[in-house]
Amino acid sequence: MTALPATSEAGARVPMGASLRPLLRLVIPALLVVGAYAFMGPEQFVNAMTRGAIYALIALGYTMVYGIIELINFAHGDMFMMGAFVSLTFLGQILGLTGSITEIAKLAPLLVAAFFISMIVMGAVGVTIERLAYKPLRAAPRLAPLITAIGVSFILQNIVMLKYGPYQTNSPKIFPSVDIVIGTAKIPALSLFIIVVAVVMMIALQLFIGRTRLGRAMRSTAADRDAAQLMGVNINRTIAITFLIGAALAGAAGVVNGLQYGVSRFDDGFQAGLKAFTAAVLGGIGNTVGAALGGFIIGFIEVGATVMGFSRWGPAIVFGTLVIVLVFRPSGLLGQQLGERA
Amino acid sequence: MTAPTTVATDVVLKLTNVHSYYGAIHALRGIDIEVPRGEIVTLIGANGAGKTTTLRTISGLLHPREGSVEFNGQDISRVPAHELVVKGIGHAPEGRRIFSRLTIYENLLMGGFTRSKDENTEQVERVYELFPRLRERHAQKGGTLSGGEQQMLAIGRALMTRPDVLLLDEPSLGLAPILVQQIFGIIREINASGMTILLVEQNALQALSVANRGYVLQTGEVVLSGSSRDLRENEMVRKAYLGED
């Protein structure tokens, strides 16, 4: 379920030094992080975090939508791609920017505007897609909305291809390429910016889901749609808001991606979407903390593979990890075990 | 105990010729039911007779394809469930449908989703007075409660909005006899405080002993109705539902 905080109740019945478990839960991840840092060095560590942050932002949309209507929204990766195009259209084609902007007083409002516009536009697109394509199929067998989602994915890709062509389009890298030097390591300021933006959004999302009235509506709808209605929750509106937030986060990831890589193409959403979806499953689909965690893990696996000289094997290692995790924890790292939904 | 002195009874719920479907299944075939204010009305009948469907049609989880549902004189047959909660229909559904990962207290707050914080603080207190057991276990997760406790929570949760009418679906299902007694005692108590109740039960004997009047449903139709006393003495009811020869 959407972000009821993962507690220790999952797997409590597993016969294994029960008193050690909470400790292991903290120690093992801590060791992994320290190990990754020692192995990769600070520069690649930050690189992995940056990539992971982008995957995590996309993965949140997959997991939220799955949590609430049990749909794998295959068009979600394309929302990320479109978010990047909204941003490059605004910054490059409307404002005519090309290079970096070094004055913070000018840069900050531009960044805020780019995020704002991309998130609003993509949020609106997400709500519209839900209304037109998925809502009419809510009572249909699960396969129907799934196939529809694949269709929506093609439609979005083709819309962008018609408008921008099948080539890469430049996205203005308005963020100056300044490095922050820590000891001998040079960390790009942009990377830190991306990580901070992503983490702030994730925390805001957790607070929203955990503390607000709409968040309660979302959690109850995910747990039991009929019961939620009987509590007075407007489930149509709640589902629409879930799509809105998921799509807006994908839009934000698109902006970030444009700043980082400087180019976008109509099919960018496919690969990124696949990996983000993997992240959501790895973390436990339906669980927002799990999706964020999964995103970062995949970032680390990819960059780790590159550091070891296996960059071409990156995807294989990512999916291999997924297979191994699912063998031992079929519902993902933080997913609830089956049967808990009494 | 009917009250024959009351003239022009105030009707809270009135179903007229209601037809409801589950997909292609014609579940309700023209049902007429009236629930007067302040009374307990019960729907009895076998599995699959349409009792639960009737409640779902009233609370808006299902919309009738034909016929009308009137609540306080207003046609609500097209009003979505979440708006009816605000209008004053409380529904403790079949199977209790407690939020298993939320605590008792959080479940009650969900029941008051449409109400203000102050109203909820006050009402939670009243529910705890009615069910002291829930107060004792207020921090316990819904999924870990016993069947009886879950039923109390389901009723308490439906009372959080202080509804005009309370729909109870099989409150005694799966409970030990002593708990059944307790639940029916509470139903009486809630009714004594002025609450109108529409009660669906398989336990016809218990239901007819608390209700003012009843309707007998069979395959989506009302086959018999009347005061509880009359129904208890009816030959068919005695044979089919009270297990007498």
CA distances from A177 to A23, A95, B206 (A): 41, 20, 78
| Minimum CA–CA partner of A235 in chain B | B82
CA distance A21 to chain B (A): 21
- Find the mean pLDDT for residues A167-175: 94
* Position A193 pLDDT exceeds 80: yes
Q: Residues with Cβ < 8 Å from B219, sequence gap 6 or more?
A: B29, B48, B49, B50
DSSP state of B38: T
Name the residue facing B110 among A4, A216, A340 (closest C-beta). Answer: A216
Continuous H helices in chain A? 21-69, 76-88, 104-129, 143-164, 189-211, 213-223, 225-230, 235-261, 268-283, 288-307, 314-328
User: Does residue A321 sit within a domain?
Assistant: no
* Position A1 pLDDT exceeds 80: no
Q: Could you tell me which residue, A12 or A36, shows the higher pLDDT?
A: A36
Interface test with A, best of B113, B120, B157 (most A CBs within 10 A): B113
Q: Do A223 and B100 touch (CB under 8 A)?
A: yes
Please state, in angstroms and rounded to a whole number, the distance separating the CA atoms of residues B77 and B79.
Answer: 6
Domain boundaries, chain B: 11-94+162-240
Percent of chain A with pLDDT strictly greater than 90: 82
Q: Do B114 and A231 touch (CB under 8 A)?
A: yes
| pLDDT in the model for residue B47 | 87
Query: Contacts of residue B81 in chain A, CB cutoff 8 Å?
Result: 229-230
User: Does residue A4 sit within a domain?
Assistant: no
User: Does residue A5 sit within a domain?
Assistant: no
Bridge partners, B25 (sequence order): B22
Residues 23-82 of B with CB under 8 A from A: 59-61, 80-82
Q: Do A233 and B113 touch (CB under 8 A)?
A: yes
SS3 B25: strand
- Tell me the pLDDT band of B5, cut-offs 50, 70 and 90: very low
Q: Is there a contact between A39 and A48 (Cβ–Cβ < 8 Å)?
A: no
* Position B159 pLDDT exceeds 90: yes
Q: Is there a contact between B35 and B165 (Cβ–Cβ < 8 Å)?
A: yes
- Tell me the pLDDT band of B245, cut-offs 50, 70 and 90: low
Please state, in angstroms and rounded to a whole number, the distance separating the CA atoms of residues A80 and A118.
Answer: 10
Is residue B103 within 8 angstroms of chain A, CB to CB?
no
| pLDDT in the model for residue A17 | 53
User: Does residue A183 sit within a domain?
Assistant: yes
Name the residue facing A229 among B82, B86, B98 (closest C-beta). Answer: B82
SS3 A322: helix
Exposure string (b/e) for A296-313, b if CB count within 10 Å is 16 or more? bbbbbbbbbbbbeeeeee
Please state, in angstroms and rounded to a whole number, the distance separating the CA atoms of residues A146 and A127.
Answer: 17
| pLDDT in the model for residue A151 | 97
User: Does residue A279 sit within a domain?
Assistant: no
Is residue A158 within 8 angstroms of chain B, CB to CB?
no
User: Does residue A166 sit within a domain?
Assistant: yes
| Minimum CA–CA partner of B23 in chain A | A139
With tokens 């970030």, the residue in question is: A256
Range of the domain at A229: 41-266
- Tell me the pLDDT band of A23, cut-offs 50, 70 and 90: confident
* Position B7 pLDDT exceeds 50: no
Chain A to chain B Cβ contacts (< 8 Å): 60
CATH of B11-94+162-240, one of 1.10.3720.10, 3.30.450.20, 3.40.50.300, 3.40.190.170: 3.40.50.300
Query: Contacts of residue A341 in chain B, CB cutoff 8 Å?
Result: 100
Q: Do A213 and B82 touch (CB under 8 A)?
A: no
Across chain B, mean pLDDT equals 92
Please state, in angstroms and rounded to a whole number, the distance separating the CA atoms of residues B4 and B6.
Answer: 6
Phi-psi label, residue A77: left if phi above 0, alpha if psi -120 to 50, beta otherwise: alpha
Q: Do A223 and B99 touch (CB under 8 A)?
A: yes
| pLDDT in the model for residue B237 | 86
Please state, in angstroms and rounded to a whole number, the distance separating the CA atoms of residues A171 and A263.
Answer: 5
Is residue A223 within 8 angstroms of chain B, CB to CB?
yes
The total of other beta-carbon atoms located within 10 Å of residue B73's CB is 9
| pLDDT in the model for residue A2 | 44
SS3 A96: coil
Nearest 5°: phi and psi at B18?
Answer: -85, 125
- Residue-wise pLDDT for A270-302, tens only, equals 999 999 999 999 999 999 999 999 999 999 999
Q: Do A220 and B80 touch (CB under 8 A)?
A: no
Interface test with A, best of B56, B101, B116, B140 (most A CBs within 10 A): B101
CA distance B241 to chain A (A): 30
Domain count, chain A: 1
- Find the mean pLDDT for residues B53-79: 96
DSSP state of A273: H
User: Does residue A311 sit within a domain?
Assistant: no
Please state, in angstroms and rounded to a whole number, the distance separating the CA atoms of residues A252 and A197.
Answer: 9
Is residue A226 within 8 angstroms of chain B, CB to CB?
yes
- Residue-wise pLDDT for A199-225, tens only, equals 999 999 999 999 999 999 999 999 999
